[in-house]
């Protein structure tokens, strides 16, 4: 049983679902029954349904329809709605991806559940010394920003503490988990499922011509452009910070036009703080609605420079060897800095502009692709899970 709830989950699960389909095609006599549960944490079409279609991800058989709320209410509501689903279907494995509220909520339920042994037919479950509950597997485990003001950081730490198997994307994650007392035997370095999904969809994205490149009223982006994404509350909820970041775009855009797909939260605050109109009047700044995965990937692949506060985009730009300026004080993906093309600069305009013009002047770092970011992470995960279940080795 795989859990998805928010946009980043969809992209991570897409490659896992495909790996399961490939496994089943090659093993007709011992197939994996895969049930996807959507919590409904992201519920509008641009943030949810479109991604299932583009990524060719099997439609969820169950949708908890939780919707938006405070962290406490949303987490509690997911737990309430997920428990009866888990008791009804009694999967051998609950597979969790990422660090959203859906991840920790379902980890908490799965860690405390007790199946009825007469209803559950799995030999692996009956032999499990911890009792009749599912194996909890966390994909993208061990990432740490070391900033507990980030809700995602709390979700990561607690999910990892509750999980039986921890699949990591980079070696720093192993150090983090061992420091927190996680036994080495639970941890598997498998690579990055986000990169699996990127590689699967790259050719499809290359054939697209995004609307922003077709509209003659936009600035000339054929000769290069920057791509911007902002959504984190620390960047978009405070008028001073958001204003300063937008001022940076206004300075960069005369030299390099920037395309800025607006997250709903970001657009709302730009309008609320009276900033939106000034951006529309800047000739070099192109504002768009949220984009689907393929259209965004097409823009990302051809970008000259990316400015973002997204974790996943830090990874994707590193793989594509595109310079990325991360507008945060910390990152849970340090390999994108130490090996990749990422620069962690905070939100100070002077530092942002200095880094941007260093890159545009041709003095930026080249970057390399991290180990095991080879498109086979999901395949490794499925092989490990099958081995654990078949051999009852957990």
Measure the CA–CA gap between 98 and 149, rounded to whole angstroms. 17
Question: Any catalytic annotation for residue 231?
Answer: yes
Catalytic residue, from 138, 207, 231, 263: name it: 231
Instruction: Please tell me the distance from the alpha carbon of residue 135 to that of residue 389, in angstroms, as a whole number.
Output: 9
Contact 139, 16 (CB under 8 A): yes
SS (H, E, C) 192-244: CHHHHHHHHHHHHHHCCCCHHHHCCCCCCCCCCCEEEECCCHHHHCCHHHHHH
What SS3 state is found at 264? helix
> What is the rounded distance in angstroms from the CA atom of residue 190 to the CA atom of residue 286?
38
Measure the CA–CA gap between 8 and 297, rounded to whole angstroms. 13
Q: Are 188 and 166 in contact (CB under 8 A)?
A: yes
How far is Cα 133 from Cα 91, in angstroms, rounded to an integer? 9
Rg of the chain over Cα atoms, rounded to whole angstroms, equals: 21
Q: Give the residue numbers annotated as catalytic, written as ranges.
A: 231
């Amino acid at each position: 049983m795989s859990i998805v709830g928010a946009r980043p989950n969809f992209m991570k699960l897409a490659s896992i679902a495909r790996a399961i389909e490939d496994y089943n095609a090659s093993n007709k006599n011992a197939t994996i029954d895969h049930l996807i549960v959507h919590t409904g944490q992201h519920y509008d079409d641009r943030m949810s349904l479109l991604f299932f279609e583009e990524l060719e991800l099997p439609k969820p058989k169950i949708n908890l329809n939780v919707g938006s709320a405070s962290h406490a209410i949303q987490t509690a509501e997911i737990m309430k709605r997920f428990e009866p689903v888990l008791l009804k279907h009694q999967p051998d494995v609950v597979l969790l991806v990422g660090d959203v509220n859906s991840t920790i909520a379902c980890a908490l339920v799965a860690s405390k559940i007790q199946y009825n042994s007469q209803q559950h037919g799995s030999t692996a479950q009956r032999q499990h010394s911890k009792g009749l509950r599912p194996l909890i597997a966390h994909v993208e485990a061990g990432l740490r920003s070391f900033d507990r003001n980030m809700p995602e950081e709390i979700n990561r730490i607690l999910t990892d503490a509750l999980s039986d198997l921890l699949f990591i994307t980079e070696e720093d994650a192993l150090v983090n988990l061992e420091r927190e007392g996680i036994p080495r035997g639970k941890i598997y370095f498998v690579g990055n499922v986000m990169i699996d999904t990127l590689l699967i969809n790259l050719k499809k994205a290359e054939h697209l011509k995004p609307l922003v490149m077709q509209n003659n009223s936009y600035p000339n982006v054929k000769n290069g452009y920057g791509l911007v994404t902002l959504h984190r509350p620390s960047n978009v909820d405070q008028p001073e910070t958001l204003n300063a970041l937008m001022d940076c775009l206004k300075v960069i855009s005369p030299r390099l036009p920037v395309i800025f797909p607006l997250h709903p939260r970001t657009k709302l605050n730009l309008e609320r703080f009276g900033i939106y109109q000034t951006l529309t009047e800047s000739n070099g700044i192109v504002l768009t609605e949220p984009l689907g995965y393929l259209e965004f990937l097409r823009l990302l692949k051809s970008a000259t420079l990316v400015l973002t506060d997204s974790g996943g985009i830090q990874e994707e730009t590193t793989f594509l060897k595109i310079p990325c300026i991360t507008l945060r004080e910390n990152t849970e993906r340090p390999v994108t800095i130490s090996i990749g093309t990422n620069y962690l600069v905070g939100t100070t305009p002077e530092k942002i502009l200095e880094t941007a013009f260093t890159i545009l002047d041709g003095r930026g770092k080249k970057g390399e692709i991290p180990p095991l970011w080879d498109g086979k992470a999901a395949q490794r995960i499925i092989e490990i899970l099958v081995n654990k279940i078949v051999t009852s080795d957990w």
